[in-house]
Every structure is written in C-alpha cells, then in structure tokens.
Chains A and B, each alone.
Chain A
Amino acid sequence: MTPLLQVKDVSKYYGARIGCAEVSFDLYPGEVMGIVGESGSGKSTLLACLAGQLAPDGGEVFFDTRAEGLRDTLRMSEPERRMLSRTDWAFVHQNARDGLRMGVSAGGNVGERLMAVGARHYGQIRAQAIDWLGRVEIAADRIDDRPGAFSGGMQQRLQIARNLVTGPRLVFMDEPTGGLDVSVQARLLDLLRGLVREMGLSAIIVTHDLAVVRLLADRLMVMKEGHVVEQGLTDQVLDDPQHGYTQLLVSSVLQV
C-alpha cells in the first residue's frame, strides 16, 4: 500500500534556532496522525512545512497525487501546489478568522473552493453549501449570514465545512479546538470524528490537548525542541509513555 504522505527528514531552521529537525513519517490513507508537544516544540512549523506554507531547509515531502502518484510537493511548481491545496488538501486554522473570508456570507465561504475548481452553476453551488452547513450542524437559514455573526464554535465548524466541500484526501489541522470552551470542543471533536471516519480522510492534527488526540488520532508523534522524541499508536504512547517528556506530558493532564 502506498502511503498518502511520505515525509523524509524535514528540517526547518530559524537562523541558528531549530524549528523542527529531521522529522520523518509515513501517513497512510484513512489514517489520522496526532502531533503533540509543548509550545515552541515545532509542531506548527512542521505542519506549515508539510502544507507548503513554509519552505523547509531540507528534506522531502511526497504526496500521492490522483493523477501522477507520488510527487515531491516541495519541488513541484507553485501553481500545482496551490491547485493541490484547494482540491486534495485542506487546512483548518486554529483561529477560524484566518481561514474564513469574514466579508463573505457562510454560503459564499463554502462555495469559494467549488468556484475555484470551476463550478459555475449557482443552484448547485448553493445546494452543496446547504448540504455542508447541515453536515457541520449549522442551520440552513444561516447560509446568508456573515461569519462575524456566528459564535466561535460555529465559525470553526464553518471553516471545516469550507475546507471539506471539495472532498480533500488530506486535512491539516492546527489546534482545531483551541480557544473553544470544553462543551463546544466536545461537540466539534464528535463532528470531526464522524466526518473523518465517514469520508475516509487522512488527517494530521497538531494540538497540545491530549484528549483531542486520544479521541481522533490513530497514531501519535510527540515533539520536543524541534525533535520527535516518541511516536507510535496513540493508546500505546499515552498508556505506556517511554520518553521522559511524554511521561511528564501524560502526568500533567488535570483530572477532574
């Protein structure tokens, strides 16, 4: 089975400081990978490198494209990479405002990716927008409201709908539940888990919330100071942490 995403020795340096160093892993179709670690451990840097938003200083990232099989996304041309990032990839930002067009209605936000890949039938675009708002539990009568009129949780769900509407195969999520209160977090996680399973998505989720990875991720990677210190199956890593930092991380979770 070919991996969907193959990461080999990706490194990014900020001058003399390490962003992330020599990260390698394979992600298979349908698999959800969690990346945890403290602030400044290089999680977001790694994610941005993988999603083509930052140019890493070294390493290779292969993506299994529909047309041509494995391609190095770091060395493909910018038009190709931008095409990938609005068809087969999706990026969910921590702050929904970064991923949404705040001046455009919810329907327009969801429809943008469809129109970007050539949809030119208003009725069909709108029907798909309504369908997707329904899937992320936003009432259809809110379709013409702007995201500014939505609560934080709704904005995050709208961002997810906007990203998933073109049926991507790989979703990058940068702390999708950060900044939301716990009950909204739980609902969002439930929704995400349903969508990921239903659509057979692969996902890379960056978070510092261990509950999120426990619920969503099949595999887990623990990062500290730019290096991967431990990786394995989520339950295995969380239940039997081997590395000192992972043990600290697991034991730091507050029990209510």
Chain B
Amino acid sequence: MLNGKIGDKMTETYQFKGVSSESATAYNFAYLDEQTKRMIRRAILKGLAIPGYQVPFASREMPMPYGWGTGGVQVSASVLCPEDRLKVIDQGADDTTNAVSIRKFFERTAGVETTEETAQATVIQTRHRIPETPLTEDQILVYQVPIPEPLRFLEPRETETRKMHSLEEYGLMHVKLYEDVAQHGAIATSYAYPVKVEGRYVMDPSPIPKFDNPKMEMDAIQLFGAGREQRIYALPPHSRVVSLDFEDHPFDPSKADHACDLCGAEDSYLDEVIIDDAGGRMFVCSDTDYCRARRAAGHVGAEGAPYEETTR
C-alpha cells in the first residue's frame, strides 16, 4: 500500500492538468519542482521505514513564513497527485486563516479538488489536530511541526540529542514528566505529549492535544514535516504509539468536561469560546467538519440552533 501511495510517485512526473486559473500555469504541479519532490519523497520513504526517526531533508523556502506550515506544505506537495482531494485544517477548523491560505495555495498551484469533509479527502494537511472522524487506509495525514525534537527543551545540544536517540537514552523525557507532577500534582503536559513509537523512538507528535494521542494508532499514513528545522518523520499505518507516563500517574487523554454546545457531541475535543465580556463562554467542537456533519444529521447542542443548509 505504501508503494501504491508514495512509491509510485518516485518515478512519475505529473504534468499540470487541472488548470483552475490562468496564473497557475506558471507553476510546476504543486509548486515544488520535480527534483525537490523526489528528494522529499525519499525522505518520507526513509521515515516510513524507521517509524519516529527524524530524517533530515533539504527544506526549501516556501512563499509563506516559517511557523505557517512550510514543512507540512512541502510534504503535501510531494505526495499530492492531480486526482487527489485535499483538506486543510488548522486547530481542527477548515475556515481559519492558515487553513484557508494553504488550501488556496494548492488550489492555485496544483489545481487539485479540495473538500472540507474528512471522509471525502485523500490528503489532509493538519495543524495541531487529528480529525474526529476515523481515517482510512486510503488517506494520508500530513502534520505541520514547529519543533520536531522532543528533547529540545531539556537538552539544547543537537549533537547530544541525536546521540540520545541513537542510543535510546530516553530517561530525560521522564524528567520533564517528573517536573510536571512535582509542580502540578499531575502530568500537566497537555499538548505535544511525547510518545514512544514501535517501542523504539521517542517522538514529538507535533502540538496536537494529548486527547488526540490515542488516535495516532490509525489506518492512515501519518507524515510529519518541519520546514524550519528541516526534518521529516512518519508513522506507517497501525504503528504502535505509546504515550509516556509513570506507573502511578498513568497517561490521561483529557478534554474539557462538557458536551459541544452546538452539536451536543460528548466525545469530541472542545474549544472554549468566550462570547461576551461578562464571563460568558461556550464549548464547541474544535473539528468544524465533525460538528457540521453532526448538526446536519439533526443533533442539536444546548445553545445550538437547528442546522440550515443555506447558512454555509
């Protein structure tokens, strides 16, 4: 399956087909040139072969600032083919600046179809969330990663952290968790929660909430791109992903103790939204597509109005 999805692309060169606007013809398909895409695909294949290992790659300058997903965009550009359907989310939402601009970027430079529906997409680029709807074997999830090195804030030397990875010296990761428990009485790390992949590499799952950590054992391919730090790493489908913890302070994938106020979902990750300056707040699904689909199916939360097709 990996060969089918990524390996074939090593040998193929896509001609630009789906011209959606006139300005697009000036670009190679999906912006990057074919040599660059092949270089990135090689890094992706290596990453898939060694789950959790950070593969260095020659990150290119992209027409957007670092921190806006330059790594994820390069990975997406390398795995996209003209018949793909792309979905881009930022913190779970399809309609935030980052998601809209990256989606528009690929509409213009690749001319691929885009969608907001998780189940319809073949490639999903995400910033800081995993969609609530379970992904399938036909999908690729691309993460934007700011800092790929989980040990960075504990050990600033890159030479040393590489040695620690190669010698599997991960005691230091637990020092961070120890500090959490000592200061807060519980493991207070709530996002970018370190995981151990296939019993070998400790990996930073990018700043997804720890609520999403258990979802990382999924059917889809997961690719992680860090543009500024020039690293790519990957999880093949069904990889074993264990969140680190203590025996007496086990991992707890927590979320806000509410139901979604719009769709009433109790199993989704929630955003807290401040709605006035008198302390009023509501909790809504961070995954906008999941919330919309539920409301379309007739679910209504405490403050939700019945779903109307025309509002979108």
Hey, which bits of chain A sit against chain B, CB under 8 A? 78-79, 82, 101, 103-105, 107-108, 111-113, 115-118, 120-123, 125-126, 143-144
Contact = CB atoms under 8 A, between A and B. Distances in A.
A116 B248 contact: no
Given A79-B167, A82-B169, A120 B179 contact: no
Grouping DSSP codes into helix (H, G, I), strand (E, B) and loop, the A interface class, with mixed when no group exceeds half, is helix
Given A122-B248, A122-B249, A117 B179 contact: no
A105 to B, nearest CB: 6
Interface in B230-271: 246-249
Contacts of B179: 104-105, 108
Given A108-B179, A122-B247, 12 more contacts: A78-B167, A82-B167, A103-B154, A104-B154, A105-B179, A112-B171, A115-B174, A116-B172, A118-B171, A121-B248, A122-B178, A122-B249
Contact of A126 (B154, B175, B182): B182
A84 to B, nearest CB: 13
B175 A123 contact: no
Grouping DSSP codes into helix (H, G, I), strand (E, B) and loop, the B interface class, with mixed when no group exceeds half, is helix
B247 A112 contact: no
26 contacts: A79-B167, A101-B154, A103-B154, A104-B179, A105-B182, A105-B183, A107-B178, A108-B175, A111-B175, A111-B178, A112-B171, A113-B171, A115-B172, A115-B174, A115-B175, A116-B171, A116-B172, A118-B171, A120-B246, A121-B246, A121-B247, A121-B248, A122-B246, A122-B248, A126-B178, A143-B182
Contacts of A115: 171-172, 174-175, 178
B181 interface: yes
Nearest to A144: B182
A116 B169 contact: yes
Contacts of B167: 78-79, 82
A143 B181 CA distance: 13
Contacts of B182: 105, 107-108, 126, 143-144
A104 B289 CA distance: 41
Nearest to B156: A103
Contacts of A112: 171-172, 175
Contacts of A111: 175, 178
A82 B248 CA distance: 28
Interface of B: 154, 167, 169, 171-172, 174-175, 178-179, 181-183, 246-249
B178 A108 contact: yes
B96 to A, nearest CB: 34
B248 A101 contact: no
A123 B248 contact: yes
A105 B181 CA distance: 12
Contacts of A121: 246-248
Contacts of B169: 82, 116
Contacts of A126: 178, 182
Given A122-B248, A122-B249, A123-B248, A117 B171 contact: yes
Contact of A120 (B154, B172, B174, B183): B174
B178 A125 contact: yes
B247 A101 contact: no
Nearest to B246: A122
A217 B107 CA distance: 76
Contacts of A113: 171
A143 B179 CA distance: 11
A121 B167 CA distance: 23
Q: What 8 pairs across the A-B complex have the smallest Cβ distances? A: A116-B171, A122-B246, A115-B174, A115-B171, A121-B247, A79-B167, A108-B175, A112-B175
Contacts of A123: 248
